[in-house]
Amino acid sequence: MDNTELLTRFNLTRHEATIYLTLLADGDLNGYEVSKITGISRSNAYASLASLVEKGAAFIIEGETTRYTPVPVEEFCGNKIRSLQESKQELIKNIPQRREDAEGYITITGEHRILDKMRNMISESKSRVYLSVSGNILPDLLTEIQVAHQRGIKMVVITDTPFPQEGMTVHVLEKPKKQVRIIVDSTTVLTGDIDEGEFSTCLYSGKKNVVDLLKESLQNEIKVVEMMRGFEAK
């Protein structure tokens, strides 16, 4: 993902992102100069510059001609994130709560949505997490795993590569490279495959029979690891 695409995630249009990157690279510019450098029409360049100021990505320098200077990217992104965090807290406070969680089976598709759900499940855990994933997926969850462990959450990880984390229970077992399975607090589960990006599919559920079934499966994996250790010790 290039810088222009990343900036669109911070509420900039592609034209605005292109101009913002130009300001960062070339310094203070007026509308005519921006148009000449970027190839964006002069009218669109002036409109985008005004919008960048409104969105907090640029400041105006007054003089014989109006020039624009970029807000440092760390400051611009930090301001956006802080504003979103404040909006998030306001929404959490004011939006009506669901009377009860949805029952049944929810299908989650797309690699990034599945990883986001797993991160949220780990972050919202209250007592324990059982996680069975291949080693190539673990780095995407490492921050949430470490933070949960620091909060005192019991973390049990089953994976196919050594994963030295002090105080965590880690079982090493050969696993399908794309498979993911997680149980949180013995109340919710997510299971499926991360494969081919947007073609990835997982099932999320809070149904007791699904939780019990997956729990039994993970317990069997742990028993296999313990048996293998026993054979190796002989």
pLDDT in tens, 176-228: 678 899 999 999 999 998 876 788 899 999 888 888 888 888 888 777 766 66
Q: Which of 101, 105, 100 is nearest to 211 (CA)?
A: 105
* Whole-number average pLDDT of the chain: 89
Burial of 193 (0-12, 13-18, 19+ CB in 10 A): middle
pLDDT in tens, 17-75: 999 999 999 999 999 999 999 999 999 999 999 999 999 999 999 888 999 999 999 99
Burial of 223 (0-12, 13-18, 19+ CB in 10 A): exposed
Give the predicted TM-score (pTM) of the model: 0.70
